[in-house]
Structures are given as structure tokens and as C-alpha cells.
Amino acid sequence: MKNKKIILLLLIPLLLTGCTKKLKDKDNKAVINEVTGQNLTENILCRPTDEETIRLYKENGVEIDSLPYCTCESDKIEVQVGVENEDGTITTETKEVDCESFSITSGGYEGLWTSIFVKPLAFVILFFGRLTKSYGLGLIITSLLIRLIAYPITRKTAMQSEYMKKAGPEMERIEKKYANKDQSDQQVMLQKSQEMMMVYKKYNVNPISGCLLSFLQLPLFIAFLEAINRVPAIFEEKFLVYHLGTTPSVGLGNGNWWYLLVVLVVAATTYFSFKATTSDQISTSPEMRSQQKMMTNMFTIMIIVMSFFMSTALDIYWMVTNLFTILQNLIVKRRTK
């Protein structure tokens, strides 16, 4: 019941506001940038700069001229505007206007989820992107910054793995002790439960604390997904040889085999991240250990499949998060020995 309440609390922001809206054409088909293979987002937070992307938005009725720029290099910028002549023709001329840069309050209040999670996250990524001259680096720095802020909580979760490892032998002895007893006898099961709780207390183990990190990562993952999809400056950019808005499936389809490396790194870091957080948690029975191993393999396979269809920017976020988790668990393991 307690876990259900936690999940519900985390989902409330999503239920109170809209999320990313895919841009659709007059035939209700998703609008795709043919160059990058990306499904464009309708409710972007700031203006795109890529000419092909601008054309697609305008052709499909999105008023991008009213949006702020993602970032402004100077207070004044030059824009091309159409001017109507006396004979009714329209000519284009260059005009200097004030540059309004995206901020947390741009667009006003858009619900709890967007205003509290997505916009601040997008603003931070843009800030570090502007600072480093690379939105790919901005994404990496923001990912690391969030993990460092959450470190006191995630460290406790990692420590639970080590405590569980120490408690493992005693938990197995309890399992063997009651293995041949009537499992339907409530008195027997109550006694077993009490002995297990005593071991948990002895080693300072909280059985449900291991779920906390997963609960925290879910809204962050969704917020990063939204920030990436709704900020053109991020999904338009190239980082190293990768286009941040392109998925590995599209990149590989276009013959760019470098995108396979993204999937391989996601696969490796995901596997070792899951292994670092679960292998030391000695389960109380062979059946539970088998289930634990199966769940780890299933989650790893699921993430690998998803990585083919997630934008490269989101894959980079996942890699950074995994590497931080692996490093964190190595540090905690050494300190608890």
C-alpha cells in the first residue's frame, strides 16, 4: 500500500498537466524531419533555428514567431520580415529586434509538471550549453549535477545493498530453518517474519528503500525526455558525430554505423549498473535470487531495445546516469568494507 501511494504521488504532476504533443499534419500523420528522422514536437518551448525545421512548423500551423529564442548571443538580433508594398506585393527586409531568450517563466504557467520540472530542467541545460558552447555538454553537465544533488539519497540506497550482503548469510539460515515447516501455519510464518525483521534491524536494512532510486529516476527520465523534445536548440544540435535529435534506429538506417556505438554503450552501462545495484543484495532463497537475475536481464534487454528508438540525447543522459551509478556503488562498497 505504501509503495502504491509513493507511485501515485509521483504520477500526480503528470496527471495534472499535458505532456509532449507530437506535431501532426492535416492528415493527422506525425510530421517527421526527413534529415534527422525525428518526430517533431508541437508544443516546443522556444524557436527552432534550422531552416527545414522552421519550414515544417510553419507549414503545419505552429506560430513559432511568438516564441522566445532558446538562447540569445546578444541583446539585438537581425530577422527577416515581410513588408507589404503599395502595389500589394511583399518584399523581405532585414530588421533588428530585441532578442528574448527562453527563461523558466517563458509562456506563463503551464501546469505543475511543465512549470516545475520541464522548464527549469530545459533552462539549466540551455544555460550550461551556452556556457560550454555545446548543448550536448550542457546535457551531460546537467545530468551529473542532478545526480550529485541526489547523491545523499542514492548513497543510502547503495549502502542498503552492502547491508543486505552482510545480512544475507543469516537470512539464508532463517530460510533453511523454516524450509521444512508448514508454510500455511500463520504462527510459524509470523515467527519467521519476526526473526527476519530482527536481522534487518541488526544490519540497519530497510527492505523497501531499494525501490526509492527507481521511483526518483522515473520522473527525471520523463522530464529529460520532455526537455529534449521541446527545446529545438537541443534536438537540432550535433554532438561529436551524433545528431542529438536522431534515434540510433534512424542513424543506422541512414548508414551511419557510429550510432551502433551508442546502443552498445547504453547496453554495457545498463548491465553493469543493474549488476552493481542488485548483485550484492543476497536474496533469502534460491527462487528469489533466480527471479532477481531474471528481472535484471529483462530490464537490461528492455532498455537496450528502447535505446534504438530514443533520441541520441536521451541515450546520452542514460549513459551518464548509469556511469554515475556504477562509480557511486564502487565508492560505497569500498567505504563499507
Query: Which of 246, 46, 214, 11 has its CA nearest to residue 117?
Result: 11
- Whether the predicted pLDDT of 164 surpasses 90: no
Q: What is the C-alpha separation between 331 and 334, in angstroms, rounded?
A: 5
pLDDT averaged over every residue in the chain: 78
Is residue 47 domain-shared with residue 135, that is, in the same domain? yes
Query: Which of 99, 41, 44 has its CA nearest to residue 69?
Result: 99
Q: What is the C-alpha separation between 68 and 56, in angstroms, rounded?
A: 18
> Does residue 157 form part of some domain?
no
Least confident residue range of 42-56, 72-86, 227-241: 72-86
> Does residue 158 form part of some domain?
no
Q: What is the C-alpha separation between 310 and 293, in angstroms, rounded?
A: 25
Domain termination residue (choose one: 173, 202, 231): 202
Domain that holds residue 167: 163-202
Mean of pLDDT values over 93-116: 78
pTM for the complete prediction? 0.76
Q: What is the C-alpha separation between 320 and 263, in angstroms, rounded?
A: 13
- Whether the predicted pLDDT of 241 surpasses 80: yes
Is residue 318 a contact partner of residue 262, using CB atoms and an 8 Å limit?
no
Is residue 314 domain-shared with residue 169, that is, in the same domain? no
- Whether the predicted pLDDT of 64 surpasses 70: yes
Is residue 167 domain-shared with residue 59, that is, in the same domain? no
Is residue 33 domain-shared with residue 45, that is, in the same domain? yes
Helices 258-278 and 312-336, packing angle to 10 deg = 30
Cell of residue 163, nine digits? 547491508
Least confident residue range of 15-19, 80-84, 89-93, 268-272: 15-19
Tally of domains in the chain:
3
Is residue 41 domain-shared with residue 78, that is, in the same domain? no
Distance of CA 300 to the CA centre of its chain: 16
Burial of 270 (0-12, 13-18, 19+ CB in 10 A): buried
In which band, very low, low, confident or very high, does the pLDDT at 3 lie, cut at 50, 70 and 90? very low
Is residue 124 domain-shared with residue 195, that is, in the same domain? no
What are 188-230's pLDDT values in tens digits? Answer: 778 888 887 887 777 777 665 555 555 666 777 788 888 888 8
Q: Using alpha carbons, list the distances in angstroms from residue 97 to 43, 65, 90.
A: 24, 12, 20
Q: Where are the beta strands (DSSP E) in the chain?
A: 32-33, 38-39, 76-84, 90-98, 238-239, 242-243
Is residue 307 domain-shared with residue 276, that is, in the same domain? yes
Give residues with Cβ within 8 angstroms of 103, minimum separation 6: 68, 123
> Does residue 329 form part of some domain?
yes
Is residue 217 domain-shared with residue 141, that is, in the same domain? yes
Residue 41, SS3 per DSSP: strand
Is residue 233 a contact partner of residue 135, using CB atoms and an 8 Å limit?
yes
Give residues with Cβ within 8 angstroms of 4, minimum separation 6: none
Is residue 84 domain-shared with residue 167, that is, in the same domain? no
What are 122-157's pLDDT values in tens digits? Answer: 999 999 999 999 999 999 999 999 888 878 777 776
Is residue 244 domain-shared with residue 330, that is, in the same domain? yes
> Does residue 114 form part of some domain?
yes
> Does residue 25 form part of some domain?
yes
